[in-house]
């Protein structure tokens, strides 16, 4: 069926021969020796999604010059199919249409066919998804687009049944041959509309601090008060909303915003969208109340939700949030981790051709496995003989375990420990089933997200093992996820990497390395983050309009317009992540150029920010930091030469604060006057409701510095300030599990003194 050269045929056969013994061709066309009859160019690729189509009878091309040149020479339109490996309807269309010889013959005759993995090429996906939304008003995958030989879209759709698809491709071929002028006019019109949609628009209005309040209200307008979450079914976790609401609540003290985030996290972690046996979240819920998920698991959901749950724990002290954060990371560590420490991308929703089969249970199974412990487990996880999903049960809780323990006078830790034993029994039984497909490609941006979470949760919960996992994975990405040219790669599979990284890969990885730096104070991670960010600015910044392009401007993307993204979709945009990364780099290095670039980025997207701030809520987290600083128990100041961290412990009704200040080599702290006109190294002021009963400073070092004739009292190296506090809980601003402090200090080296600084710390209270 394919008119391939002998050289290409031999290359394809050689690639098939060198596949691992576990490689399973996905096709109905198998010869007597159980070998696939068809092999196309996708066998050469490092994407599991493309490899799923490597034995279709379609002469698939990858995105590149070869396909476009062929389309121009033969004057054929391009059929572009975009999907991803764990997409249910992508599987269906592949089996029904792409693996059908009758359909394939028409596709090979009529078109040049290109297959793209959207996870490897989000830039291509973004461009044609924009076109699809313009034409149809809705989007989805698989995405089926028809293009001119120049890549301009003239018709886009999603999934088609076989009869619909055959009718469609016949019609497109007929119109192309008979009304090409009309098609080209339509393609030009749509291309202009896509370019307009992607063009950055600057607003004439200045962006004030009130935009933060407007963002919070916009998000709350979408809040589901009954079930938690935002919007209607299908319901996604919307982590970028949760990031913003938690950080906004710390700043504003507005209880309704924090309660919305807390209820959402509780209902999500109690629902079927959360894997109650192994941990980890499914991609979204098909219903309003989080019961019935679409069962695929994405690495980016695990990354963002583990971070958010840990953040919520530090704010509220809710034990369920700590438990879930750790369960998610433990799941990733056990089931989504490569031998080299990097992380797989996703697991499928289907097994044995049935969605959710791997994850669901019947009552008798659980009774047989748990025996005497079955009664409590069945009650807690709402298991019935009738089931709640296709006559089986998706395990779910009707309330958080903490609430159940309190209501039944049960020790929470003992309950969790007992359930953990039972879950392990069910986990072992479940693992004997046929598991869903694992997409084992290593995506740089997604790995960076989970690295950030391991480092953050490790630091917040004093889990050094998590920090070690983050460091190992970061080293692997920096060493192995590179193309042959030595560039950072977008993804790799079995050590093979061919696609240069996108802007979001650089932004996310720099952000993750800064999180490791904060957890370890090891300068190598700051240096790596600086190098990645400098390359990102040089290679991806739009030097005419501003903002970051998704793809490097030194590469030939073949797209009619180079896309830029500001919207938060399943993940936050590369521009949003860059804003926060650049600001944090400025604080940790003292390089104001990073802050200047961040300010330019805000101005570039000022129209989007002022008109619809909720669509870029992670960027709004960065803006919140720009206005008031990082809302954290640790701070960097004095151009990165001072690191401050705080711990506050509650012992009965007493509170003990320990502030640790690390001063860079050749720098010191001067004595300054506190609010009582006492000479102190750091003035410490508690926010309303808190009283500092006693404070103990370290001993001074008396030293002659170059710009002083007389000896002065200073502080060098690492110092600790210890204080005892009390509070009037009636006066404390919500949330009450946080201690807010204002610190005053002045840093000097032997040449000069910096201006005095006021630093805010937000410190969780540990019991």
Domain containing 649 — which CATH number?
A: 2.60.40.1250
Residues 575 and 659 in one domain: no
Query: Is the omega angle on the peptide bond into residue 660 within 30 degrees of 0, that is, cis?
Result: no
Of the candidate ranges 87-91, 417-421, 443-447, 656-660, the one whose mean pLDDT is the lowest: 87-91
Determine contact, residues 576/566, Cβ cutoff 8 Å: yes
Q: Rounded CA gap, 691 and 39, in Å?
A: 74
Residue position matching structure tokens 């979240």: 281
Domain that holds residue 669: 634-766
Determine contact, residues 262/249, Cβ cutoff 8 Å: no
pLDDT at 444 over 90: yes
C-alpha of 700 from chain center? 45
Q: Is residue 743 in a domain? A: yes
DSSP code string of 36-48: BS---GGGG-S-H
pLDDT classification of 138: cutoffs 50, 70, 90 = confident
Of the candidate ranges 408-422, 432-446, 608-622, 662-676, the one whose mean pLDDT is the lowest: 662-676
pLDDT at 563 over 70: yes
Q: Rounded CA gap, 378 and 393, in Å?
A: 10
Domain edge (last residue) among 596, 628, 660: 628
Q: Could you tell me which of 210, 212, 155 has the C-alpha nearest to residue 183?
A: 155
pLDDT, position 204: 52
3-state SS of 514-526 is HHHHHHHCCHHHH
Residues 639 and 606 in one domain: no
Residues 624 and 638 in one domain: no
Q: Is residue 205 in a domain? A: no
Average pLDDT over residues 397-413: 96
pLDDT classification of 241: cutoffs 50, 70, 90 = very high
Q: Is residue 53 in a domain? A: yes
pLDDT at 733 over 80: no
Q: Is residue 300 in a domain? A: yes
Residues 164 and 267 in one domain: no
Average pLDDT over residues 714-736: 85
CATH code, domain carrying 291 = 1.50.10.10
Residue of higher predicted confidence among 485 and 6? 6
Q: Is residue 136 in a domain? A: yes
Q: Is residue 423 in a domain? A: no
Determine contact, residues 570/612, Cβ cutoff 8 Å: no
Q: Rounded CA gap, 581 and 578, in Å?
A: 5
Of the candidate ranges 269-278, 304-313, 466-475, 756-765, the one whose mean pLDDT is the lowest: 756-765
pLDDT classification of 203: cutoffs 50, 70, 90 = low
Q: Rounded CA gap, 671 and 703, in Å?
A: 13
pLDDT classification of 495: cutoffs 50, 70, 90 = confident
- Share of residues in the chain with pLDDT > 90 (%): 75
Of the candidate ranges 150-164, 242-256, 671-685, 720-734, the one whose mean pLDDT is the lowest: 671-685
Q: Rounded CA gap, 139 and 156, in Å?
A: 9
Q: Report which DSSP code applies to 180.
A: H
Q: Rounded CA gap, 453 and 474, in Å?
A: 12
pLDDT at 483 over 60: yes
Encode pLDDT of 226-238 as tens digits: 999 999 999 999 9
- Share of residues in the chain with pLDDT > 70 (%): 98
DSSP code string of 353-400: TEETTTT-B-HHHHHHHHGGGHHHHHHHTT--SS-SBTTBB----SS-
Residues 353 and 262 in one domain: yes
Determine contact, residues 579/625, Cβ cutoff 8 Å: no
Residues 614 and 639 in one domain: no
Crossing angle, helix 444-460 and helix 299-316, to 10 degrees? 20
Give the CA radius of gyration of the chain.
28
- Residue 471 token pair: 């460091």
3-class DSSP state for residue 509? helix
- Residue 360 token pair: 């669901």
Q: Rounded CA gap, 445 and 615, in Å?
A: 20
Residues 548 and 501 in one domain: yes
Q: Is residue 415 in a domain? A: no
In terms of DSSP bridges, do strands 738-745 and 683-686 run parallel, antiparallel, or are they unpaired? antiparallel
DSSP code string of 148-210: -TTS-EEEEE----HHHHHHHHHHHHHHHHH-HHHHHHHHHHHHHHHHHHHS----SSPP-TH
Alpha helices in 28-77 (DSSP H): 48-52, 65-74
pLDDT at 64 over 90: yes
Does the predicted TM-score (pTM) go above 0.85?
A: yes
Total domains in the fold of the chain: 3
Domain edge (last residue) among 593, 628, 663: 628
CATH code, domain carrying 178 = 3.40.30.10
- Residue 578 token pair: 């860059």
Domain edge (last residue) among 167, 198, 229: 198
Residues 605 and 540 in one domain: yes
pLDDT at 767 over 80: no
Q: Rounded CA gap, 664 and 315, in Å?
A: 30
pLDDT, position 682: 87
Of the candidate ranges 408-417, 468-477, 483-492, the one whose mean pLDDT is the lowest: 483-492
Residue position matching structure tokens 């630091």: 459
pLDDT, position 675: 65
pLDDT classification of 98: cutoffs 50, 70, 90 = very high
Mean pLDDT of the chain: 92
Residues 179 and 36 in one domain: yes
Residues 618 and 638 in one domain: no
CA distances from 579 to 413, 505, 551, 607 (A): 40, 14, 17, 16
Q: Could you tell me which of 268, 275, 273 has the C-alpha nearest to residue 321?
A: 268
Encode pLDDT of 324-359 as tens digits: 999 999 999 999 999 999 999 999 998 888 889 999
3-class DSSP state for residue 306? helix
Encode pLDDT of 574-620 as tens digits: 999 999 999 999 999 999 999 999 999 999 998 888 888 989 999 99
Q: Name beta bridge partners: 701.
A: 714
> What is the greatest pairwise CA distance in the chain?
94
Residues 215 and 290 in one domain: yes
Q: Is residue 418 in a domain? A: no
Residue position matching structure tokens 């089986």: 392
Q: Name beta bridge partners: 738.
A: 764
Residues 590 and 700 in one domain: no
Determine contact, residues 291/271, Cβ cutoff 8 Å: yes
3-state SS of 542-560 is CCCCCCEECCCCCCCCCCC
3-state SS of 104-139 is HHHHHHHCEEEEEECCCCHHHHHHHHHHHHHHHCCC
């Amino acid at each position: 069926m394919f008119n391939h050269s002998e050289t290409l045929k031999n290359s394809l056969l050689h690639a098939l021969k060198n596949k691992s013994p576990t490689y399973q061709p996905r096709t109905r066309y198998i010869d007597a020796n159980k070998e696939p009859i068809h092999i196309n160019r996708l066998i050469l690729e490092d994407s599991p999604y493309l490899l799923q189509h490597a034995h279709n009878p379609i002469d698939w091309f990858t995105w590149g010059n070869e396909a476009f040149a062929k389309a121009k020479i033969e004057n054929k339109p391009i059929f572009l199919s975009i999907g991803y490996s764990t997409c249910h309807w992508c599987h269906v269309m592949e089996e029904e249409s792409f693996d059908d010889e009758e359909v394939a013959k028409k596709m090979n005759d009529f078109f040049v066919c290109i297959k793209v993995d959207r996870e490897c090429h989000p830039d291509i996906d973004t461009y044609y998804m924009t076109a699809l939304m313009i034409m149809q008003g809705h989007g989805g995958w698989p995405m089926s687009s028809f293009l001119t030989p120049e890549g301009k879209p003239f018709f886009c759709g999603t999934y088609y049944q076989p009869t619909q698809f055959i009718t469609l491709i016949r019609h497109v071929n007929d119109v192309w041959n008979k009304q090409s002028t009309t098609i080209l006019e339509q393609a030009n019109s749509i291309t202009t509309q896509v370019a307009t949609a992607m063009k950055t628009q600057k607003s004439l209005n200045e962006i004030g601090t009130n935009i933060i309040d407007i963002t919070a209200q916009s998000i709350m307008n979408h809040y589901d008060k009954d079930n938690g979450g935002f919007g209607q079914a299908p319901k996604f976790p919307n982590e970028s909303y949760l990031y913003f609401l938690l950080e906004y609540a710390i700043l504003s003290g507005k209880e309704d915003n924090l309660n919305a985030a807390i209820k959402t996290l509780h209902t999500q972690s109690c629902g079927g969208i959360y894997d109650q046996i192994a941990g980890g979240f499914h991609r979204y819920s098909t219903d309003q109340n989080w019961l019935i998920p679409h069962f695929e698991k994405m690495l980016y959901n695990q990354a963002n939700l583990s971070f958010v749950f840990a953040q919520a724990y530090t704010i509220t002290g809710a034990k369920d949030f700590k438990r879930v954060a750790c369960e998610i990371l433990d799941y990733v560590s056990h089931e989504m981790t490569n031998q080299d420490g990097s992380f797989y991308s996703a697991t499928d929703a289907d097994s044995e051709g049935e969605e959710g089969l791997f994850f669901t249970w019947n009552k008798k199974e659980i009774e047989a496995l748990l025996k005497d412990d079955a009664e409590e487990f069945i009650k807690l996880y709402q298991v019935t003989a009738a089931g709640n999903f296709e006559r089986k049960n998706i395990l779910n809780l009707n309330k958080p375990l903490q609430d159940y323990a309190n209501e039944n006078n049960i020790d929470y830790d003992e309950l969790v420990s007992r359930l953990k034993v039972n879950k392990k029994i069910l986990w072992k039984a479940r693992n004997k089933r046929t598991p869903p497909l694992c997409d084992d490609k290593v995506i740089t941006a997604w790995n960076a997200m989970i690295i950030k979470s391991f480092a953050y949760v490790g630091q917040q919960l004093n889990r050094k093992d998590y920090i070690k996992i983050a460091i190992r994975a970061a080293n692997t990405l920096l060493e192995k996820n590179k193309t042959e040219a030595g560039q950072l790669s977008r993804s790799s599979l079995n050590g093979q990497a061919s696609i240069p990284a996108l802007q979001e890969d650089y932004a996310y990885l720099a952000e993750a390395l800064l999180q490791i730096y904060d957890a370890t104070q090891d300068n190598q991670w700051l240096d790596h983050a600086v190098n990645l960010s400098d390359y990102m600015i040089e290679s991806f910044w739009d030097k005419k309009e501003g903002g970051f392009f998704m793809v490097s401007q030194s590469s030939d993307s073949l797209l009619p317009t180079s896309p830029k993204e500001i919207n938060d979709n399943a993940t936050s945009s590369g521009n949003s992540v860059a804003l926060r990364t650049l600001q944090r780099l400025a604080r940790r290095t003292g390089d104001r150029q990073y802050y200047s670039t961040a300010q330019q980025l805000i101005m570039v997207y000022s129209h989007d920010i002022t008109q619809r701030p909720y669509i870029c809520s992670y960027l709004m987290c960065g803006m919140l930091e720009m206005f008031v600083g990082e809302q954290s128990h640790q701070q960097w100041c004095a151009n990165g030469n001072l690191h401050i961290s705080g711990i506050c412990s509650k012992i009965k009704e007493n509170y003990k604060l320990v502030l640790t200040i690390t001063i860079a080599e050749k720098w010191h702290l001067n004595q300054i006057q506190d609010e009582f006109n006492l000479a102190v190294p750091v003035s410490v002021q508690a926010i309303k409701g808190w009283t500092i009963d006693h404070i103990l400073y370290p001993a001074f070092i008396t030293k002659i510095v170059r710009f002083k004739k007389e000896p002065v009292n200073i502080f060098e190296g690492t110092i600790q300030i210890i204080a005892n506090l009390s509070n009037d809980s009636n006066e404390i601003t919500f949330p009450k599990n946080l201690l807010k402090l204002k610190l005053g200090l002045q840093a000097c080296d032997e040449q000069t003194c910096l201006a005095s600084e006021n630093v805010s710390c937000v410190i969780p209270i540990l019991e």
